């Protein structure tokens, strides 16, 4: 654990010639929770996707170090096996593949990478059921196709369920709180808190203070137009909540001048 968990240096990314990330610098240490806030379209999901390894982005400048390794050089599955997890803003529906099969295949892929044996079928069921109980998910979700016909909130819970089962080291949570009712938000937040530990870190994209009331961040970053325009403590999120993003626009205008 000598290396930093995540170190992003001057990251620039383009999609189809559109410059979206314009120089991101961010250091996330073990044990930390960082929140990323910012207006729609400012590039928050793009950052999360680039970190998880989605195709279609061109990295024009910059580096990303994950535990001392060049993260951008790894294919997505290797990042996952090395402990990177992305909870999607819009989880994908996969018809015909049951949740339980998927979870088991994922867990085994990660275990294999670590040189561990396949999980015992019985142990696996017990493990998953315990985590489902925590997420207050009915067991029938195990046998349904991945996210298919799940409500918005159920999909988000399912993301956290996967996170609880896979126990990643770096958790990227993209608007895990959107579409959740008040109770579900609490359950999801408790799921995140349960994993919070000195061995892992969280990067949470959110638009709302509500989540941060449950999961206290160490650092809050404000994104605008592909850059981090301000970083601060938890009070920054509250400031945003009261002031809105208006003052960022002033900031940007000032910067443009």
Partner 1 sequence: MTLSAEALALYQDAVESLASNSPAWLAGLRRKALDRFATNGFPSPREEEWKYTNITAIERKGFAVATSMGEVDPAWIGSLLLPECWHLVLIDGHFARDLSHPALVGDVVFCDMEAAKLRHADLLAEGFGQAVDVDHGFIDFNTALFQGGALIRLNPGTRLEQPIQILHILTQAAAIPTRHLIQIGEEAEATVIESHAGVAAGLTAHVSEVLLGKNASLKHFIIQEDHQRAFHFGGLYVRQETGSRLAQTQFALGGFLARSEIHVTIGKDCETLLDGLHWANGRRHLDTHTRLVHAKPNGTSRENYKVIAEERGRSVFQGRIVVEPGAQKTDAAMNNRNLLLSDDAEVDSKPQLEIYADDVKCAHGVTIGQLDPDALFYLQTRGIDAESARQLLLYGFVNELIEAVDVEPLRGYLHRQLDRRFHAIPLEENP
Ligand X SMILES: Nc1ncnc2c1ncn2[C@@H]1O[C@H](COP(=O)(O)OP(=O)(O)OP(=O)(O)O)[C@@H](O)[C@H]1O
**Contact present, 166 and 108 (Cβ < 8 Å):** no
User: Which partner from the list Mg ion, ligand X, partner 1, none does 217 bind, CB cut-off 5 to 8 Å by kind?
Assistant: none
CB 25 within 8 Å of CB 227: no
Query: Least distance in Å: CB of 201 to partner 1?
Result: 17
Among 77, 130, 181, 249, binds partner 1 (CB under 8 A): 77
Stretch that binds ligand X, among 16-24, 114-122, 143-151, 210-218 (CB under 6 A): 16-24
Residue indicated by tokens 């994922």: 106
Q: Look at residue 15 and give the partner it binds from Mg ion, ligand X, partner 1, none, a contact being a CB closer than 5 to 8 Å depending on partner kind.
A: ligand X
DSSP 236-247: HHHHHHHHTTHH
Interface region with Mg ion, contact rule CB under 5 A, candidates 26-34, 45-53, 190-198, 223-231: 45-53
Q: How far apart are the first and last CA of the chain?
A: 43
The footprint of partner 1 on residues 157-216 (CB under 8 A) is 162, 166
Only one residue has tokens 């590039």, namely: 43
Using CB under 6 A as the binding rule, the residues of this chain from 62 to 121 that contact ligand X are 89
Cβ–Cβ contacts within 10 Å for residue 212, how many? 21
Residue nearest to Mg ion (CB): 45
93-152 residues near Mg ion, rule: CB under 5 A? none
50 near 13, Cβ under 8 Å?
A: yes
Instruction: Please check whether residue 251 is in contact with residue 229, taking contact to mean a CB–CB distance below 8 angstroms.
Output: yes
Residue 44 in contact with ligand X, rule: CB under 6 A: yes
Buried b or exposed e, range 110-138, using 16+ CB within 10 angstroms? beeeeeeeebeeeebeebbeebbeebebe
Query: Can you give the binding site for Mg ion, defined by CB under 5 A?
Result: 45, 89
Residues near partner 1, by CB under 8 A: 52-55, 75-77, 79-81, 84-86, 88, 91-98, 100-102, 105-107, 109-110, 113, 143, 145, 162, 166
Residues that bind ligand X (CB under 6 A): 15-16, 18, 20, 38, 40-46, 56, 89
């Amino acid at each position: 654990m000598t290396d930093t968990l995540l170190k992003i240096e001057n990251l620039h990314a383009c999609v189809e010639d559109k410059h979206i990330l314009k120089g991101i610098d961010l250091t996330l240490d073990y044990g930390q929770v960082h929140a990323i806030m910012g207006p729609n379209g400012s590039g928050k999901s793009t950052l999360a996707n680039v970190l998880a390894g989605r195709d279609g982005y061109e990295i024009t400048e910059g580096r990303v170090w994950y535990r001392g390794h060049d993260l951008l050089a790894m294919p997505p599955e290797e990042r996952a096996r090395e402990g990177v997890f992305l909870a999607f803003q819009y989880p994908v529906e996969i018809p015909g593949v049951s949740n339980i099969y998927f979870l088991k295949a994922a867990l085994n892929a990660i275990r294999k990478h670590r040189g561990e044996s396949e999980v015992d079928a019985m142990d696996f069921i017990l493990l998953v059921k315990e985590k489902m109980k925590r997420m207050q998910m009915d067991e029938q979700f195990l046998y349904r196709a991945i996210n298919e016909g799940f409500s918005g909130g159920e999909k988000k819970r399912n993301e956290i369920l996967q996170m609880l089962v896979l126990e990643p080291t770096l958790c990227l949570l993209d608007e895990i709180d959107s579409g959740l009712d008040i109770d579900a938000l609490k359950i999801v937040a408790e799921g995140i808190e349960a994993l919070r530990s000195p061995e892992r870190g969280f990067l949470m994209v959110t638009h709302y203070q509500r989540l941060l009331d449950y999961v206290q961040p160490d650092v809050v970053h404000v994104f605008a137009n592909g850059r981090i325009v301000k970083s601060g403590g938890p009070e920054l999120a509250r400031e945003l909540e009261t002031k809105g993003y208006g003052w960022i626009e002033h900031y940007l205008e000032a910067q443009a001048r």
